[in-house]
Amino acid sequence: MRKIIQIVGLLVIINLLGCNSNENQAKRGDDISGDLIIFHAGSLSLPFMEISQAFNKEYPQVNIIREASGSRKCARKITDLKRDCDIMASADYTVINDLLIPEYANWNIKFATNEMTIVFTPESKYCDEINEDNWFEILMKDDVVYGRSDPNADPCGYRAVLTMKLAEKYYDKPGFSSALLEKDTKYIRPKETDLLALLESHNLDYIFLYRSVAQQHNLKYLVLPDEINLKNPEFANLYHSVSVNISGKKPGEFITKRGEPMVYGITILKKAPNANVALKFLEFLLDSDKGMKIMEKNGQPSAIPMPTVSYDKIPGVLKKYAEK
């Protein structure tokens, strides 16, 4: 009988220890696990790598699979190729609105900003001469080669076009944007970060690129006037005065993109394979002391909170990061 009592007592202790262990695991977040698939803009590659590493320190059982593409190409992977995805982060929040809502996603949170610059290296032709007042003349020189990304695949691509059109107005240079758009077309690439290798290997002298990416790669860049860099909300009406047509949801359809201050957007897909972990990641990302601190360190200021038309459909724990 004494042995039976001892065995029963031992089983009770083991059971209690197991319960405590489960409670501790839950507190540590060890119940958050599995693959987390994130499609994101190329310009988010470095900050999202750092954010993923920081997230894994709190939730080591999560395997984060990050895939960078032009934001519109990211959306096409979901809509056309039917790829599994938990989180989509776009360099332009309107990509989510235009291509994913309402069929593939319910809501969209605006979370970061950026600006257009002209990026170069110490070996770029006329790099010692280029400035805010003559860059458009230098890019038009026959011996200068510049690159940009594809407007149909990447927001940086259509933002480059919008920047050129705004520059034509700002500098009063009729025909400038059309002439520059017809130049060096063989150096158009699917996403803006694809141009970095061409620049660093000196195949290109200049590229249209986000300021954050230039800073992250320690590249030289020309800061453009707020009237054309798509950064300043005070010039929203001016930005809106120019536009570019890009491919729509279906072949043969087109979307007219008007200029506006650049804002990044993020969502969790309706059919996210690991929705609970995706929600936890977004809580981490959007926290000003965690993910957004890393974003700002990488040159992408926070846009939180901003109004969104999908506010009512945002999960409750994320509503504080947006406004109606």
Q: What is the pLDDT of residues 176-195, one digit of tens each?
A: 999 999 999 999 999 888 89
Question: With 70 as the cut, is the pLDDT of residue 160 above it?
Answer: yes
Q: Are residues 212 and 246 in the same domain?
A: yes
pLDDT at 137: 97
pLDDT one-digit tens code per residue, 192-241: 888 999 999 999 999 999 999 999 999 999 999 999 999 999 999 999 99
State the average pLDDT over residues 42-70: 97
Domain that holds residue 314: 33-113+263-323
- Kindly state the percentage of the chain with pLDDT values over 70: 91
Q: Which comes out higher in pLDDT, residue 146 or 11? A: 146
Which of 258, 280, 297 is where one domain is finished?
Answer: 258
Q: Are residues 288 and 315 in the same domain?
A: yes
Number of domains in the chain: 2
Question: With 60 as the cut, is the pLDDT of residue 50 above it?
Answer: yes
Average pLDDT score, the chain: 91
Q: Do the domain assignments include residue 146?
A: yes
User: Between vectors from CA 258 to CA 253 and to CA 259, what angle results, nearest 5°?
Assistant: 145
Residues 6+ positions from 324 with CB-CB distance below 8 Å: 307, 308, 311, 312
Question: With 80 as the cut, is the pLDDT of residue 30 above it?
Answer: no
Q: Do the domain assignments include residue 27?
A: no
pLDDT at 306: 97
State the average pLDDT over residues 139-162: 96
Q: Do the domain assignments include residue 22?
A: no
pLDDT at 252: 83
Q: 205-244: b or e for each residue (b if 16 or more CB lie within 10 Å)?
A: bbbbbbbbbbbbeebebbebebbbbbbeeebeebbeebbb
Question: With 90 as the cut, is the pLDDT of residue 1 above it?
Answer: no
Side chain identity at 56, as an amino acid letter?
N
Q: Do the domain assignments include residue 25?
A: no
3 state DSSP class of 272: coil
pLDDT one-digit tens code per residue, 260-290: 999 999 999 999 999 999 999 999 999 999 9
Q: Kindly report the number of other CB atoms within 10 A of residue 134's CB atom.
A: 12
pLDDT at 17: 41
| CATH code for the domain of 142 | 3.40.190.10
Side chain identity at 5, as an amino acid letter?
I
Q: Are residues 197 and 241 in the same domain?
A: yes
Which of 209, 230, 258 is where one domain is finished?
Answer: 258
pLDDT at 188: 97
State the average pLDDT over residues 61-77: 96
Q: Are residues 206 and 236 in the same domain?
A: yes
Q: Are residues 271 and 308 in the same domain?
A: yes
Q: Are residues 238 and 176 in the same domain?
A: yes
Which of 234, 258, 282 is where one domain is finished?
Answer: 258
pLDDT at 19: 38
State the average pLDDT over residues 121-133: 97
